[in-house]
Each structure stands twice: as structure tokens, then as C-alpha cells.
């Protein structure tokens, strides 16, 4: 994955980019008709006939330039479409932006740049602004299970991590589950803690690809994966999941929890240390962002400080 970083007085903008290795590729952007074709395809995937009509050019002339653009890697064949007994080739841009390196000998290191993470964190963090509400369980006995939550401490680690991507924070950024109203639920949400101690987690539990279930057999909570069909019982096991917000179609939810504090801490550590691995999706279905992790006490001080991925 390659990125173009643009920095101005307001901060940084990060774009997906494709590095062009052939100098001839640059000629496509200096050719007036080629550039017009690129601009049209950037608006929506199109075939030569569609573009010829819009630009009032002969279709064969447009197709000639499109084959050239495809060969240079600027556009790509996206699909085939049946039209009046013929097959139309639909093309799209191979990247929204393009870059060209004259040499590999000069580059700038900047440790604050984490473009892959910035891209994945949308819409929770966007344009250097925190665009979500963190929900933690109340520390008082509450809810269906009359259970107090201790997961709130994990938000300190999470907040410190998210802070590196945010330059403008409007407080407060979190609420207790007992304070949530209907309007709150219609935001992007980061929910910490499971259904036993967080009443909002209980509301979304049946929407999760990896969910929590109280087992009468074990007289305890278990974590069940609909993806691997596995059941997890250990206290150090946690889950990180990203789903569409069932309370608002245009919003999303990040969910991090374990059976108890150690499991939730493991989930938060996994998210903050290994976000790129989480962004790859579940090994049983890469299109679903849901991971199971087990906490590890690497330095033997009794505190979970690292994790291993179980799925």
C-alpha cells in the first residue's frame, strides 16, 4: 500500500497513490485528450463509447488512448457489460492519485506519519478530528446482570493511542453506558466492555460476528465465533470488531472487549499495537473486521503487555 502525504497549515492529508515506474506514463498527463479521459473515468467507471459521447470524439480514437492508459497502468479493466448484443469494457482508475520517483536515494523519514492507520481509522478519526463517542461500562452495579465494570481503565491506553492522530478534541469524548441516550447511539461509537458490564454492548451483541454468550454448562460467559465456529473460555481472551452501527446506517462501531478486564485490556493492546493486522480482516473471512486475541504477560510482572492472535 502506497500513500501520498500533503502537508499544509491545517495539517496533513493522506491519499492512496500508485507509483508509476515508466517515465512514458507522464506523457499521458500532458496529452490533452488522454487527460480528459482520465478525468472522465475518475468521475465514474466508463467504457470507450460513453467517454466518446461525452467528449464528442470518435470511439476508436478514445479506445486507442484507453488501451495506452491501461498498458501504462493508469486505468484498469473493472468489469464487462452486455450492451445491445455487444460486450463493453468498463474501466476505472487504478488509483485516485499517481506519483513518480526520479530516484530512491532521497526520502524523508517522519515517525508521526501512519497513513495506513489514518485510512483505516476513518470515520472515527477524520481530518485530525475525533469523530466518535467512547462508551464504557459504569463502575457501579447496573443493568440486567447488576455487574460493575472495571474496563474503563483501558480507555486511558486507547485515548493515548488515538491522540497521535487527533489535533482537535472536543470534550467529553466518552460516556458511561448508563448515560447514553438515543441521539448518542446514532454516532460513530467505540464500545469498551462486554454485555455483562456494558448495557450498550448487550444491545449489539447479536449483531457481532464474534459474540458473547452465557453458558449454563460452564456457568460462565464464553466467546463464540460465527466465522471459525470456535468457542473461547479463557479470561485473557479478547475480541476487536468493526461493524455498521445498527442504530444509524451511515455510522460505524468499534467494539473491544474480553470476558473480564484482562481480556478487554488484551483487545485494546491488540488494537493499539497491531492495527495493521486487524485491518487485514478475519482469517476465515477477510471482508469482516473481527479478531480474537489472547493476552500475554511478556515480562512476567503480572500485567498483560502483549497479545497473540487466535483468529
| Spatial CB neighbours of 165, under 8 Å, sequence gap ≥ 6 | 114, 117, 118, 121, 125, 128
The full set of domain ranges for the chain reads: 3-99, 115-309
Specify the DSSP element, H or E, that contains 117.
helix 115-121
What confidence score (pLDDT) does residue 7 get? 72
Say what the pLDDT of residue 116 is: 80
Could you state, in chain order, the average pLDDT of each consecutive group of 10 residues for the chain (311 residues)?
Answer: 74 82 88 95 94 95 94 94 88 92 67 73 90 96 92 89 84 93 97 96 97 85 96 94 96 95 95 94 96 94 93 96
* CATH architecture of residue range(s) 3-99: Orthogonal Bundle (1.10)
pLDDT of residue 109: 55
Start-to-end CA span in the chain (Å) = 23
Q: Decide whether 3-99 matches 115-309 in CATH topology.
A: no
The CATH number of 115-309 is 3.30.379.10
Q: In terms of Cα–Cα distance, which of 117, 112, 124, 103 is closest to 23?
A: 103
Amino acid at each position: 500500500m502506497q500513500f501520498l502525504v500533503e502537508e499544509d497549515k491545517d495539517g496533513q492529508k493522506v491519499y492512496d497513490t500508485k507509483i508509476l515506474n515508466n517515465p512514458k506514463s507522464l506523457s499521458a498527463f500532458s496529452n490533452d485528450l488522454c487527460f480528459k479521459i482520465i478525468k472522465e473515468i475518475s468521475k465514474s467507471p466508463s467504457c470507450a463509447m460513453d467517454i466518446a459521447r461525452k467528449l464528442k470524439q470518435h470511439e476508436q480514437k478514445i479506445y486507442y488512448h484507453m488501451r495506452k492508459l491501461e498498458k501504462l497502468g493508469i486505468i484498469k479493466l473493472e468489469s464487462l457489460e452486455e450492451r445491445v448484443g455487444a460486450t463493453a469494457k468498463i474501466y476505472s482508475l487504478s488509483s485516485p492519485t499517481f506519483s513518480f520517483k526520479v530516484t530512491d536515494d532521497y526520502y524523508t523519514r517522519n515517525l508521526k506519519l501512519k497513513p495506513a492507520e489514518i485510512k483505516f481509522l476513518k470515520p472515527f478519526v477524520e481530518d485530525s478530528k475525533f469523530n466518535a463517542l467512547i462508551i464504557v461500562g459504569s463502575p457501579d452495579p447496573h443493568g440486567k446482570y447488576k455487574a460493575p465494570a472495571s474496563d474503563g481503565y483501558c480507555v486511558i491506553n486507547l485515548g493515548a493511542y488515538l491522540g497521535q492522530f487527533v489535533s482537535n478534541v472536543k470534550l467529553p469524548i466518552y460516556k458511561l453506558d448508563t448515560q447514553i441516550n438515543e441521539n448518542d447511539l446514532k454516532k460513530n461509537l467505540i464500545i469498551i466492555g462486554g454485555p455483562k458490564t456494558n448495557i450498550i454492548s448487550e444491545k449489539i451483541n447479536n449483531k457481532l460476528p464474534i459474540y458473547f454468550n452465557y453458558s449454563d454448562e460452564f456457568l460462565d460467559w464464553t466467546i463464540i465465533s460465527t466465522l471459525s465456529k470456535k468457542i473461547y473460555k479463557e479470561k485473557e481472551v479478547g475480541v476487536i470488531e468493526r461493524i455498521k452501527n445498527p442504530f444509524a446506517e451511515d455510522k460505524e462501531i468499534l467494539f473491544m472487549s474480553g470476558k473480564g478486564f484482562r481480556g478487554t485490556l488484551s483487545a485494546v493492546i491488540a488494537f493499539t499495537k497491531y492495527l495493521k493486522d486487524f485491518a487485514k480482516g478475519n482469517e476465515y473471512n477477510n471482508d469482516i473486521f473481527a479478531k480474537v486475541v489472547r493476552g500475554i504477560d511478556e515480562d512476567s510482572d503480572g500485567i498483560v503487555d502483549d497479545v497473540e492472535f487466535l483468529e
